[in-house]
A and B are shown apart, each in its own frame.
Chain A
Amino acid sequence: MLTRLLFPVIFTGATLLLSGCGQEEEKETSTLKMWVAPNITQETFWGGVIRDWNAIPGNPKIEFTAIPVAGSSEEAIMNALASGTEPDISTNIFIGFATQLAGQGLLTNFSTLAGYDALVATRKMEPFTKAWEINGENYVIPIYVSPIVYWWRGDLLKKLGIDHIPVTYEEVYSLSEKNVAAGGHYSMQVTAGKNWWDRWFDFVPLYYAASGNKPYFNNDRAEFNNPAGLEVLTFIQKMFLNKWSSYDFTSADDPLVTSDVIGAVRGPWDITRYREQYPEILNTIRIGPMLTATGRAAPATMADSKGLVLFNSSDKKEEAWKFIQWVYSNPKYDVKWLEATNMPPAREDLLTNPLFSAYLENNPLAKEIISYVNRATPPAATTRTIDVQRSMTQMIERTIFENASPAQALQKSADEINHAQGK
């Protein structure tokens, strides 16, 4: 009886096992695979682009999907690379990750491909490809460049009798004193958060502004232990010691919306969110540059920038390159990108090219943010982004929680980074 029962069980089990293992999806060799950033706006944009491409007779078909769900896009891509399931093309690559991938020989060097220089010229993206160079080579096509700027609540500034946007540390101190005198509490969201990646939105852009766009990490060494770094860290510490800022804003509701602060770093991606959720607040927003000690003219800032890569493992590089050239040589798609995301495409003619005028005339905030694009620099091209920015986080926290002097904190952080490199 038992054996009679056993056979169907074994048979069913074996069938299930074999069907599970055996039906490995056969890769359609004629189809290009592309991964895009996992958010609805970008998926919609790329959906439209790829529909247009696939509609052109003779073009190899492209399938796109959002980068699979994982802790981060980088993790998903690494897992795919380890298991040989990576796509041909992927977007949403930041410079530190690109440096890691390029260091392992996983990325195609675009500058060696025929037509690259023409594409750079056509898209007018030379300054950006230059900023994205990794060891003098171009492994990434920059998609967008979002300059980090301050958003100030014009209505709250006006209430305090301030008619211009603060550009120096002193102006912020004075504004903060006025705010407290008027019964307010905090004046600025100085730090963006507690994670290492938040340094892209506070210390790094402020350092670029203070130093005149000097690198904070170069030749595998920390370069921010200098007067510019000291200026920035002193400013940050002073804001916290005087209780003009809080380290807890990120976990609370947006303090710029709730009027708990007058100024904070926000990105162009926030325009859509504010437009949908807080249109009245959006109407009061005025854009300001990174703060400096002297109010330096046109100070530099950091570019939150992501790009597109072509994996070396692709057996359809030629077709993929053809697609990339097709997308980025047609400004129509950059216009669509800007309309969909509000994030400035990586091209230097955004304010002069009439194709973008219609959109920018109706979106003065986006237009103002775009005016910062040409002085926005991406973060350091290093494989040690986490070490460096984790140390920066500790540096800021030492000045806030341990009352360490900015000079000591800078020294300790630079030593940590350089010592870790020595190891």
Chain B
Amino acid sequence: MFRLTIKESSLGGLLASTYLGYSLVFWLYPFLWLGVLSFTDWQFIGLPTFSGLKNCVAVLHDPLFWKAMKNVFLFLFYYLPIVLSASLLFAFGLRRIKYGKAFIALSFLLANVSSGVAYSIVFSKLFSEYGPITLFLQAHLGMTVPWFTAPDVAMISIALIVTWKFVGYYGLIFYSGLIAIPKEIYDAAALDQTGPIKRLFRLTLPLMNAQIVMVLVLAISVAFALFTEPYLITGGGPLDSTTTPMVVMYEAAFRRMQPGWAATMSIFVAAFSFSLIWLVRRSLEKNIEKV
């Protein structure tokens, strides 16, 4: 009787082929197409025509591109300290909770899976001039915060909203790092009479290096991919103060019908994003042995 024999390595290749096929279709093909678009003129219809470096020059000379890039860094400037401290607080709090830990963790995580469109509408109402937050601040502190209407404040408001979305997610990552720190290390620190501040900065945070770097990488990725909140809440304004690369690329590709320009910009944005991540990892990542 005929019996098909198959080598283990071939079998492995065969099983992996599904993923490889998927990657070819959904990663390599768009990636190559992106390369083609960057060096061509195309308006969705017909064949692209070679345009050399025209798109590169056009993107680099467009003030909107630079404004959007500057806004990413401005966003990170506000977002990182807020989200890191909020997530750490969440993780520390979660560690101390005795009952309902899973419920609380999931409640915070719910924000992360909420629809961007839905919560953008909710926040635009909450922060509006007649929204409860503004009215509360007016009534109790006598101050009016122009959350989305002042160019200097709008990006902070966006950073606060994105923090709300990610605090549970990052907090759980921190929590996993926190509970992995051996108790003996803290016992030793107690014997040495180490104070809580010193313990935090010399022990806990360094031992959570892997989680902190991971959250930083995720946060940087979020900053470069920011779209729904500025697009729906501020429209990128006022005075382009919340315009992000994704908003600019979306409008260029689908509104101005310049997919080549948008594709080129996406390559620059990716280069900036990867460089920043590389820089963060290189300067902060450490190989920590806990045992």
Contacts and interface: CB of A to CB of B under 8 A. Distances in A.
Interface stretch (B144-152, B161-169, B212-220): B144-152
Given A78-B44, A104-B45, 6 more contacts: A3-B4, A6-B14, A246-B129, A251-B131, A251-B148, A397-B151
Main secondary structure of the interface of A (DSSP, over half): helix
A253 interface: yes
B238 A194 contact: yes
Contacts of A405: none
Interface of A: 2-3, 6, 10, 13, 71-72, 74-75, 78-79, 81-82, 100, 104, 106, 193-196, 198, 246-249, 251-253, 258, 260, 383-384, 386-387, 393-394, 397-398, 400-402, 423
Nearest to B63: A416
Given A252-B130, A386-B251, A13 B18 contact: yes
B131 A397 contact: no
A106 B131 CA distance: 46
B45 A3 contact: no
Contacts of B44: 78-79, 81-82
Contacts of A397: 151, 237-239
B194 interface: no
Nearest to A9: B15
B148 A6 contact: no
Interface residues of B, number: 37
Nearest to A394: B239
The winner among A2, A78, A394, A402 for most chain B CB atoms within 10 A is: A78
Nearest to A105: B45
A422 to B, nearest CB: 12
B243 to A, nearest CB: 10
B20 to A, nearest CB: 13
A44 to B, nearest CB: 24
Contacts of A75: 254-255
Interface in B114-146: 124-125, 127-131, 146
B146 A248 contact: yes
Contacts of B43: 104
B84 interface: no
Contact of B129 (A194, A196, A252): A252
The winner among A13, A247, A253 for most chain B CB atoms within 10 A is: A247
Given A71-B254, A251-B128, A260-B130, A10 B238 contact: no
Contacts of B151: 397, 401
Contacts of B128: 248, 251-252
Given A246-B129, A248-B129, A253-B130, A387 B256 contact: yes
A212 B167 CA distance: 54
Contacts of A193: 235
- What 5 A-B pairs come out closest when comparing CB atoms? A195-B235, A251-B124, A194-B235, A252-B128, A75-B254
Given A6-B11, A246-B129, A401 B238 contact: yes
B197 interface: no
Contacts of B239: 394, 397-398, 401-402
B11 A251 contact: no
Contacts of A386: 251, 255-256
B125 A394 contact: no
Interface string B233-273: 11101111000000000110011110000000000000000
